Chain A
Amino acid sequence: MQSKLSDIELIEQTLAGNQQAYADLVKRHQRFVFTLAMRFTKGREDAEEVAQDCFIKAYRNLGSFQQQSKFSTWLYSIVYTTAMTFLRKKRVDTSSIDDDESYIQIENKPSAYDTHNIENKSRSYYLNQAIEQLLPDDATIITMFYKGEQSLEEIAQALNMEANTVKVKLFRARQRLKEKLERNLKHEVKELI
């Protein structure tokens, strides 16, 4: 069955001219690529544009994929560079991960969740809300580590950094995420009282 084919097999079929194989590859990775794009753009429309751009770039350069790393690692490196270029174009402030005072302030998007009580809100909702409040670099590393099935070395490869740097960044990102999560939950509790 087509869905059981590995990424490499789908790539080989794509290179042989089977575009349906590439469609399967897109379907397999689209959620993660879109999520990563969301971490940078903070908006669905822009994220969709960035994610589509990534898959188009990947298709055009599929022949240069050396198969020395996982396809996903190679794809995420494209996502990272495309998203960074997008941010530069948009002139969004993407200050250093070490700059504690420069968090991007985003408005809480109105959603159906806001009308519910804290009891009805799942922990995962607060987690996703806290991730949205992180800097793009922090959110990307956390997402790649927990959802991208990427090791520290693979994340380093995708982000063009040293593995040790990624390790330190992951540690700091987790601390910040923990703080955001606690702050958001405290805020909700106060509102209810």
Chain B
Amino acid sequence: MNSIEEQLWNYIDGSCTLAEQQAISGLIAQDEAWRIKYNELLKLNEEFSTMDLDEPSMAFTYNVMETIRTENAMKPLKATINKRIIWGIAAFFIVTIAALVIFALSTINWSVPAGNTSFDLNIKMPEQLDSNHVKSFFSGGVVKGFLFFDLVMGLFLLDAYLRRKQSAKQH
């Protein structure tokens, strides 16, 4: 059970339930001790509200603005992403998928020989996309070059990440 003082503070702050509020109002009206304590706390509450705020130096705002003058505020991610980039990526995928679908449909042999009940889907790949032809692109040299590029990119990204982390620590 809360003390009288605690209950009265809750009543003054309005942080008690409606039932508690009604009960405390009744006690204040009927009980002398409660009324005296309530008036005392009410006076104290008013006094606490009169506390002064300290004033910083005249150059305070100037000093803050001088420090951040050359910086840009961090923009939210949703604002920094240009919508045209998103639409560009979407357009690229739509065009690619559409091209593939058109290509696939155009190479299908739609004619069904007479007497054949089953539908035989016959898609002929162009010679440039022949599996042996494609494999030739992934020769040892190309794979090594690709891995080397990955390694350089990985180191570059790691360096950028560590720099960011260090800079965040300093701030």
A51–B79 CA distance with the chains assembled, in angstroms:
28
Asked if B130 lies at the interface with its beta carbon under 8 angstroms from chain A, I say no
User: A residues 169-193 with Cβ under 8 Å of B?
Assistant: 170-171, 174-175, 177-178
Asked if A46 lies at the interface with its beta carbon under 8 angstroms from chain B, I say no
A68 to chain B: which residues have CB within 8 Å? Answer: none
Contact (Cβ within 8 A) A30 B171: no
Asked if B56 lies at the interface with its beta carbon under 8 angstroms from chain A, I say yes
A62–B74 CA distance with the chains assembled, in angstroms:
6
Number of interface residues of B (CB under 8 A): 35
A177 to chain B: which residues have CB within 8 Å? Answer: 48
User: What residue in chain A is nearest B72 (Cβ atoms)?
Assistant: A17
Q: How far is the CB of B58 from chain A (nearest CB, A)?
A: 11
Contact (Cβ within 8 A) B67 A38: no
A30–B71 CA distance with the chains assembled, in angstroms:
20
Contact (Cβ within 8 A) B60 A143: no
User: B residues 145-167 with Cβ under 8 Å of A?
Assistant: none
Contact (Cβ within 8 A) B76 A142: no
Number of interface residues of A (CB under 8 A): 45
A170–B48 CA distance with the chains assembled, in angstroms:
12
Contact (Cβ within 8 A) A15 B73: yes
* 0 or 1 for each of B43-75: is its CB under 8 Å from A? (1 = yes): 010011111111111001101110111011111
B69 to chain A: which residues have CB within 8 Å? Answer: 19
Given contacts A52-B60, A171-B9, contact A128 B52 (CB under 8 A): yes
Asked if A124 lies at the interface with its beta carbon under 8 angstroms from chain B, I say yes
Q: How far is the CB of A89 from chain B (nearest CB, A)?
A: 14
A142–B49 CA distance with the chains assembled, in angstroms:
10
Contact (Cβ within 8 A) A131 B51: yes
Interface residues of B (CB under 8 A from A): 5-6, 9-10, 13, 15, 44, 47-57, 60-61, 63-65, 67-69, 71-77, 79, 171
Interface residues of A (CB under 8 A from B): 14-15, 17, 19, 22-23, 26-27, 30-32, 34-35, 38, 44, 47-48, 51-52, 55-57, 59-64, 123-124, 127-128, 131, 142-143, 146-147, 152, 167, 170-171, 174-175, 177-178
